[in-house]
Structure 1
Amino acid sequence: MAAYVFRRLVSTIAVMAMVGIFVFLLLRLAPGDPAAMIAGRSATEEMIAGIREKLGLNDPMPVQFIHWVRDMLSGDFGTSIFAGRPVLELMSQRLEPTVSLSSLTMLVSVMIGVSFGILAAWRAGGPIDRLLTAFSALGFSVPVFVVGYFLVYFFAMRAQLLPVQGYKPISQGLGPWFEHLILPTVALSVAYIAFIARITRASMLEVLSEDYMRTAAAKGASSFAMLFHHALKNAGVPILTVVGISFAYLIGGVVLTETVFNIPGIGRLVVDAINNRDYPIIQSVLILTSGLYVFINLTVDLAYTLIDPRIRY
């Protein structure tokens, strides 16, 4: 087990090193002068030279990379060019909406998606299976922003049951916080529910066809025991894999959803930074979200060993 964990940690460090190099070069090797792009068309040569000096673009590239990594490891992610405030401070102010939306989305997606997949596999070939399969195909095909606008139109504008947009911090009450997250969570969850349900159904069907499942049925095991004690446990690795993969899609989905519902989260911060060419924010968000994704993959890989000990060797 220790050797397996060590190998995974080494590979994780290597992946993060490659991500860091890519994010660093994304600004430096982009077409044109980054300082001129940041300064705008009406900037003078003195303004551009000042920005280059501020960003350290006059130093050799290896020196720039060493300084950049050193600053990040010390917790200094730079200063926003347009806001004039530390990037970490700006991100911390936008963190709660994104974490709330992401956490609620994954909770709903896993609970409903796994349940739908188990139910479809249990009634394979029946009306429930066909209905859930059609929902999965439709839900995985429709873009997030289309679902979002549909929900806003019917539930917020027509029925006026829920807020159209915005976000209420949890400090202002659990009710308003949850009320503002219902529509964006549903819009963002549809694709992940469909994705998780399809993989769960396929994995469960494969396990249910095994000989030991027929033996359990012949011994009089209940449907609940067969589905949850035997089948779900043995189908856990593919399901856990797809849950980890869902986090990759979640990063892009959050950006779209926060834009549609005007939620002041990390996604909106990135969109504003791209429009303003605020590269310190873009780089910081890229490196932190990549690190989060790599960490989640590492956690999922280590969790495999709890479900199937054979993976350790």
Structure 2
Amino acid sequence: MVSYILRRLLSTIAVMTMVGIFVFLLLRLAPGDPADIIAGDRATPEMVAGIREQLGLNEPMPVQFVHWALSIVSGDFGTSIFTGYPVLQLISQRLEPTISLSILTLSLSVTVGISFGILAAWRTGGFIDRVLTAFAALGFSVPVFVIGYFLIYFLAISMHWLPVQGYEPIDHGFGPWFVHLILPTLALSFPYVAYFARIVRTSMLEVLSEDYMRTAAAKGASSYSMLFHHALKNAGVPILTVIGMSVAYLISGVVITETVFNIPGVGRLVVDAINNRDYPIIQGVLILVSGLYVLINLAVDLAYTLIDPRIRY
């Protein structure tokens, strides 16, 4: 077990190194120059050159990468080009809306998606299975922003049940915080509920068709015992896999959802930074998100060993 964990940690370090190189080169090789944007349309070449020297953009790219990598390792993610504030401070100010939306979305998606998948596998071929299969196909087909605008029109504008846009911090009260997150959570959860339901249904059907499940049924095991004590546990590895993979998709969905519902989260911060070519913010967010994704995958891999000990060897 210890050797397995060490191997996974070493692979995690290698992955983060490659991510750092990719993020640095992606932004540096993209068209456009932040010095031109900062200087403005009426800037002279001397002004642009001065800004490039101040930002270190006139140094060779390997030198820029070394300086940037050493700063990241020491915990310094740099300073925003446009605001002058530290990148970590700007990110920390936007974390609460993004974390709140992500946790609610993942909780709702896992709970409802796994329940739908188990129900569809239990009643395979029946009316419930066909309805849930159609729902899954719809969830894969409709973009998140379309669902978001649909919910805004019917639940906020037409019915006046929920606020249209915006966000209330949780320290202003649990009620306003939760009410403002209902619509974005429903919109963002829609495709993930469909995805989880489809994967759980497929995995459960594969397990239910095994010989030992037929043996359990012949011995008089109840449907509850077969579904939850036997089938769900043995189908846990692919379910954990899709949950871990969904974190990456959730990040991209959060950016779109925060834009649709005007939520001042990390996603909006990234969009504004891209428009302004604010390298430090973009790099800082990408590194932190990539690190979080790698750590979640590591946790999922370690969880595999608890479900199936054969993976350790």
- TM, length-normalised to structure 1: 0.97
**How many angstroms apart in 2 are the aligned matches of 1:103 and 1:109?**
10
- Give the conservation status (yes or no) of the 8 Å contact 1:38–1:277: no
The residue aligned with 2:285 is 285
Deviations 1:56-115 (A, max 9, x none): 123232221111011112221111111121111111100000000000000000000000
**How many angstroms apart in 2 are the aligned matches of 1:27 and 1:47?**
22
- 2:264 alignment partner, SS class: coil
Bigger mean CA deviation after superposition, 280-289 or 158-167: 280-289
1:86 aligned to 2:86? yes
TM-fit CA distance, 1:34 = 4.5
The residue aligned with 1:100 is 100
**How many angstroms apart in 1 are the aligned matches of 2:256 and 2:27?**
23
TM-fit CA distance, 1:43 = 2.2
Bigger mean CA deviation after superposition, 146-155 or 20-29: 20-29
The residue aligned with 2:305 is 305
The residue aligned with 1:155 is 155
Deviations 1:245-272 (A, max 9, x none): 1111101100000000000000011111
TM-fit CA distance, 1:16 = 0.7
**How many angstroms apart in 1 are the aligned matches of 2:27 and 2:53?**
15
**How many angstroms apart in 2 are the aligned matches of 1:147 and 1:258?**
13
**Following superposition of structure 1 onto structure 2, how do residues 190-201 of structure 1 map, counting pairs within 5 Å?**
190-201=190-201
Deviations 1:18-72 (A, max 9, x none): 1100111123222354533553433222322232123212323222111101111
Structure 1 residue identity aligned to 2:176: P
**Following superposition of structure 1 onto structure 2, how do residues 11-160 of structure 1 map, counting pairs within 5 Å?**
11-160=11-160
Instruction: Provide the aligned length of Structure 1 versus Structure 2.
Output: 313
Structure 1 residue identity aligned to 2:225: A
**How many angstroms apart in 2 are the aligned matches of 1:238 and 1:200?**
8
**How many angstroms apart in 2 are the aligned matches of 1:55 and 1:302?**
42
**How many angstroms apart in 2 are the aligned matches of 1:123 and 1:161?**
35
- Give the conservation status (yes or no) of the 8 Å contact 1:35–1:48: yes
TM-fit CA distance, 1:281 = 0.9
The residue aligned with 1:275 is 275
**How many angstroms apart in 2 are the aligned matches of 1:91 and 1:233?**
38
TM-fit CA distance, 1:297 = 1.0
1:209 aligned to 2:209? yes
**How many angstroms apart in 1 are the aligned matches of 2:287 and 2:38?**
20
- Give the conservation status (yes or no) of the 8 Å contact 2:113–2:197: yes
**How many angstroms apart in 2 are the aligned matches of 1:260 and 1:78?**
29
Q: Cα RMSD between the aligned structures?
A: 1.2
- 2:244 alignment partner, SS class: helix
**How many angstroms apart in 2 are the aligned matches of 1:32 and 1:135?**
43
**How many angstroms apart in 1 are the aligned matches of 2:168 and 2:36?**
38
**How many angstroms apart in 1 are the aligned matches of 2:88 and 2:248?**
22
Deviations 1:258-313 (A, max 9, x none): 00000000001111111222121111111111111111111111111111111111
The residue aligned with 2:183 is 183
**How many angstroms apart in 1 are the aligned matches of 2:54 and 2:2?**
45
Deviations 1:161-192 (A, max 9, x none): 00000000110111110000000000000000
1:262 aligned to 2:262? yes
Of all paired residues, the percent bearing the same amino acid is: 78
**Following superposition of structure 1 onto structure 2, how do residues 228-243 of structure 1 map, counting pairs within 5 Å?**
228-243=228-243
- Give the conservation status (yes or no) of the 8 Å contact 1:28–1:34: no
Unaligned runs of 5+ in 2: none
Structure 2 residue identity aligned to 1:81: I
**How many angstroms apart in 2 are the aligned matches of 1:25 and 1:83?**
23
Structure 2 residue identity aligned to 1:260: V
**How many angstroms apart in 2 are the aligned matches of 1:183 and 1:303?**
32
**How many angstroms apart in 2 are the aligned matches of 1:32 and 1:118?**
50
**CA gap 1:32/1:99 in 2 versus in 1, 3 angstroms:** closer
- Give the conservation status (yes or no) of the 8 Å contact 1:27–1:34: no
